[in-house]
Structure 1
Amino acid sequence: LQYVIVPYGVERIEQEAFSRCTALKAVFLPESLSYIGKEAFDYCNSLKEIELPDSISEIDDSALYDTGITEINLPENLQYLGNNALPKKLNYETENGIQYYGNWAVGCDTDKDTKSLTVREGTVGIASGAFSLSYGGDINIPSTVEYIGNNSFKSAYSNIQNVNVSEDNKYFCSSDGILYSKDMSQLICYPAGKDETSFDIPETVSEISAYAFYENKYLTSVNFPDSVRYIDDYAFSYCKGFTELSLPSGLLEIGKNAFANCSGFESQYKLDIPDSVTKIGENAFASSNMYITRYTENNSNIEMVDDWIVAGDDFFKSHEINFAVRGIADGAYKEKEITDLVLPDEVEYIGESAFQDCRILENINLPQNIVSIDDKAFMGCENVDIISIPDSVSHIGKSAFEYCYETVKTSDGIDYVDSWAVGADKTMKSLSVREGTRGIAESSFYGCTELETVQFPEGLCFINDEAFELCIGIKHTVLPESLLAIDKGAFAYCITLDEITIPENVLYTDFASFFGCEKLNKITFMNPETIMYPSALTIDENAVIYGYRNSFAQKYATLFKREFVALDGNSEEVTGDANGDGNIDIADVVAISAYVANPEKNTLSEQSIINSDVQNVGDGLTANDALAIQQYLANIITSLPV
């Protein structure tokens, strides 16, 4: 393999995709590409040059490290740079102990006498592992930094004491040497060298980032506010001083290895997992003295943390779990040689790779309370035959049943597991989802670039994450009235989709559900209460949003400056209504003033501009129009236009 052309439409090059292709000389990457995975081109020694498109936002660990590349362009959209992600033969620049490539800080020196390292002004990103060789002291971050890797301050010597951020930085802040996002909703780094024995996490924090407290040897306890929802991978790993732990009541997810090797807890320490938790990552509590051993009727031992199975046993091939279990953690039974397993009725969550590659598994029941079956949950279970998916299930993850030859049934180009569609023939131009289907699993139709039409049956309730992402041929489709939820990225990058109606029963449309649908000129929300994820990326910027006055759809359109058309009346009738809500109030004054100050940033629709031109009609919007509406609201004048 000497030459590779990656076709347009490919978004990701996964881990080790071209690793050790030692003869590879040239590779051409498309503008659709956003991610290059770990070691993707590592050990491609004959690869001397590569052009990275500006669409790339992430380059993961060692992606290009051991190649022959001596010069490279950094994409304009780059937001994450992994540890040793760039080629080792690049001409790096070192200034005041910090190594740079372009406007990214990528490494530092190992001088034991260095007490402080200051990232230079103009730097926009700090790569993961950038300060892994720092001996300690303070790290100072300038106002220009926008992106920081998830383990940038994980030092091999565990002596960094403070991370300080310029007060002028718009993206990050620090308090007492602890690094946060600007709004302090995310705790990014509690330096390993801080020597306090306890710490109260601020009530603003909802997420503890990956590696945030990694290897802090001084802390014996951390107090969580109930605001914390996510504890990411390795967040508290190797905090060996911990002797007590109480998790917050609103916690949703615990990442892989989050509390691994916290060996200071007493043997069989009893940790309560809040009922709010829906996911526990692989090895989240490994080597932390928290496992409680429970036994099935045939004496198979199962390792538990509270009411979650974290590690199964395959000494006996068949066993029945006869005690309450709420969830099965990621990877709990991965590659175990079991043939039969009976799960208790209480199980609600089956984690990522929970039963992956259990190749001799033949029989397993899915209890009637299960809510979610995560990515790769049964992947590679070649002999298992799962006949029924309970109606309680609302989410099936990516590749959950891949290579389950006995379970997956194909009909008219679509793969099914009971009442869920889980995959499709990517060459089909037209597909009809069969009657009785309740859900479309994550990524089921992802990248079906030939698909032009798809028909949905009544009774369909769920369209999961990325279900139709990159189905670039779909121009329009009709969603069934029974639909309840549209998950993350469900129709992202359907670049020819021009019109869609969100039925009345839909409860929410999640993040990026219609992002990148650049030709979407009409999206109609039939229910005023349908929630739209509050991000500019949820719906493409070109879309015109149709909905009812004072609905969530209108609030979204106003917040993110999208054109809105009311279904319950013509905004042409409301002179002075700048924001299209059908009313004349101070919000219209604010909208006009913002537009006059910066019309490119604070846009108004054509109709809103017509509505707002109330002083000397025809001369365009000015500050006098805002003043006239203020006078109208104060009853100084009695009618509009003036």
Structure 2
Amino acid sequence: MSQLSSYHMMVVSCYFQTINDFITISFVSKKYRNITNYFHYNPIPLNHAIIKYFDHLETLHLYNKTDETFGNTVCKNENQKVDLILKRSFYQVIVHYAISYQKTTLPQNSEYTFDNVVFDIDDTKLFDILNDQNLQNNQRVVDHNKIITIPSNPNHVTKTIGKNCFRHCVGFSEIAFPCTLIKLDKACFSSCTDLKRVILPPYLKSLPKNTFNMCYSLSFIKVPNGLTYIGKSCFGWCLSLCEFDIPKNIDKLEPFMFHVCTKLLKIEIPTTITSLGLCCFLKCSSIESIVFTNSVDIGCNVFKECERLTYVKLPFDLKVLNNSLFEKCFSLSTIKIPKYVTSIGNYCFKDCTSLSSINIPIDVEQIGEECFNNCVSLSSIIIPIKVTEINSSCFKDCVNLVNIQFLGGKFISIKNNAFEDCESLTSFNSNESIVSMADSCFAYCYSLEQIKLDDYITEIPLFCFKDCSNLSSVMLSSNILQIGNFAFNGCISLKQIELQSVVEIGNSAFTNCLCLSKVILSSNICDLDIFTFSGCASLSSIQLPLSLNRIGFKCFNECLSLKSVVIPKNVTLIESKCFTKCTSLNEVIFPEHAIKLQDRCFEDCSSLEYIKISRTV
């Protein structure tokens, strides 16, 4: 180091931090002892003790607000006292720390140079943009082209525009930025609804969140090539923005970055992008295609409600399709899911009404809730072998779904409403893979004609096959013990059913099964609940098991073809209106023991001719 000339050491010492660095270097070589005398400015902050080392000081640099000003009134308030006795004059005073534009224009600061001016929200009060004047000097601030100029000059170098600075300002369509600008703070132009055109300065490195959020008229923006970061919701609700060139130094698109840019038509994803944040292109209703050429992580809701999106090429190594990724992409008719995908999230393709075919890769293990809900053009689906659950409402309202094929995966559970309102589904064969079904899983499948359930299933849950109006054949396993409320309610084509293992039948389970003529009940059933066979107009006879204790309210109401009933000996209660309007019923035989009949049990049984009844009834 001692081989350096004093001049070169002076150059090096420009990077020193404290006076101790200068003192230390003076011990290295005698030629460095007076190195501070070469400086006409201070490379480090000064105080009254340190300034004596700089005998030839002409220019004072102030690096921090707390730096000693030596009696100069830099950035002082007009009523703030200054010790003029200790004042030291300098050829020039340069302020490096951030200071508002308004303070730099104070009369006592006119002789100083400020190279880090922040134009902040208080400074905009000087600019009455609505009335088009500068309140400080009564000059126009918006020219005849509706361009507003951010002030900057050699003595007042503007480098930052502060947080919320021009938020909600209207009346200008373009901004003239100084080339010295290096920073925009959060939401500085948010809700500038008349702003149409932006050319950002060349040294800007980042755009923080909400910078141009809700700039409804913004149709053109040019960003510098050196931009490395664009924040959350930066261009959200820019309703007039048609295209945007993403700089190649950007490595991720933050959440909500372009959400509700309804005219955004063209977007190219650079190879530098590694992730797309939550709702990044949400409601970009004009985007028609999107192509990924490299590995990218794609967050939830990224393309949700991109109504005109017709073509997507996903990253080849994508492993997860996140929640609501393509929800309400009404124009998406087909998509190739990469082979490495193992999970398809909740609502991923919900309301993709044009989606007619889709391949689910063999390694997919999870299909989320409402994943294909209301995919009204989807006609067939193949469930891969690794899938263990068909989640709630997964294929609900797929009105043209005709065929479901399970590739043999074991222990699959079908959750609530999974295939509800699949109006075109004609058959369902579980291939010995379904272990449980949940409420309403096949409700309102009007075209379903037959079902075959395997031995794993022990329960038919609530509303499971409600209003499956064409269901005529049901093959239940011998392990089914329970049938839930409304399970076969409204299955008007069902002709017969065997319930030999069932010990519990819920209320209204077979209500309005108009063609049901034959029912075989289990010998272990104890109760028939309310409305169980109400409205079964074709039921002409039924053998009630000896195990039966109770027949519920309106249990056989309006069984118009029922002719004869033998009440088992263990029945102790027949609830009110149990056989009301059984107009063909002509014979009822009661057991030889005490039994309670509630009111109106046989009301409107117009053909009833013979009742054998015990004295104890």
TM over 0.5: no
TM-score in terms of structure 1 length? 0.34
TM-score in terms of structure 2 length? 0.35
